[in-house]
């Protein structure tokens, strides 16, 4: 987990003050019946948000505080759908919009939406006029690259496999650049 956190901090350092980033955490039944919790709402990295400093500082602190959820399982599908709905509903015109999901496992919530239904919903929500590519990064041996690719491709995004968490920041940046080159929106 420490290597993953360090890699996320490296990726965060490469974004500009104008870029907008938020952070969600997910695990089964993390917040009541929801499999996810918004830790840091999406905002411009250079904006002072409260006494905690800038958005970049809030994210840095939140990344540093990430820990596995004891007894939790991977609530991937419901979280992906909720996050994608949030990303598409807050689409920023004239900017590159994307959703990055990191997971170390496959969906383990038997009460969640099915993979097929999730793919259908993602296809309905995605729009070539307002592109928000989903970038799913499968981290480690328990994650499923084929699943990551299937979910991401429903939105015009990409699925990636990372076996070494130290590579996360490089994979995030390459996937964002590739998605930005394919999409019609300008990058920040």
pLDDT in tens, 74-103: 999 999 999 999 999 999 999 999 999 999
50: containing domain: 2-182
pLDDT at 51 exceeding the cut of 90:
no
CA 146 → CA 36, 49, 60, 161, distances in Å? 23, 38, 30, 9
- Whether the per-residue pLDDT at 186 is higher than 60: the answer is no
Asked whether residue 88 is domain-assigned, the answer is: yes
d(CA 97, CA 92): 7
Least confident of 22-36, 40-54, 91-105: 40-54
Number of domains in the chain: 1
Assign residue 184 a region (left: φ > 0; alpha: ψ between -120 and 50; beta: otherwise).
Answer: alpha
Q: Does 25 map to a domain?
A: yes
Q: What share of the chain is helix, strand, coil (3-state, %, to 5)?
A: 40, 25, 35
Distance CA 38, CA 58 (A): 13
- Provide the pLDDT confidence category of residue 183 given band limits of 50, 70 and 90: low
Q: Which of 87, 89, 72, 91 is nearest to 34 (CA)?
A: 72
Among residues 176, 140, 144, 173, which one has the least CA distance to residue 3? Answer: 140
pLDDT at 138: 95
Residue 147 resides in a domain: yes
Q: Work out the average pLDDT over 2-17.
A: 92
The distance in angstroms from the start CA to the end CA of the chain is 30
- Is the pLDDT at 43 greater than 50? The verdict is yes
Q: Assign 58 a pLDDT band (cuts: 50, 70, 90).
A: very high
What pLDDT shows up at residue 182? 77
Tell me, yes or no, whether 53 lies in a domain. Answer: yes
CATH code of the domain in which 123 resides: 3.40.50.410
pLDDT at position 139, please? Answer: 94
């Amino acid at each position: 987990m420490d290597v993953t956190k360090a890699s996320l901090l490296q990726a965060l350092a490469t974004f500009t003050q104008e870029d907008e980033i938020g952070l969600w955490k997910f695990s089964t039944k993390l917040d009541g019946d929801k499999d996810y919790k918004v830790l840091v709402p999406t905002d411009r990295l250079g904006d002072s948000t409260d006494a905690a400093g800038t958005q970049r500082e809030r994210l840095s602190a939140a990344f540093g505080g990430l820990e596995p959820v004891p007894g939790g399982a991977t609530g991937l599908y419901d979280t992906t759908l909720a996050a994608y709905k949030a990303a598409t509903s807050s689409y920023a015109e004239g900017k590159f919009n994307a959703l990055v999901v990191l997971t170390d496992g496959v969906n383990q919530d038997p009460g969640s939406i099915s993979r097929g239904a999730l793919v259908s919903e993602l296809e309905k929500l995605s729009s070539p006029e307002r592109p928000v590519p989903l970038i799913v990064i499968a981290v480690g041996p328990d994650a499923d690259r084929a699943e990551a690719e299937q979910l991401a491709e429903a939105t015009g995004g990409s699925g990636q496999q990372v076996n070494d968490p130290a590579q996360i920041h490089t994979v995030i940046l390459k996937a964002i650049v590739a998605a930005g080159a394919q999409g019609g929106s300008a990058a920040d």
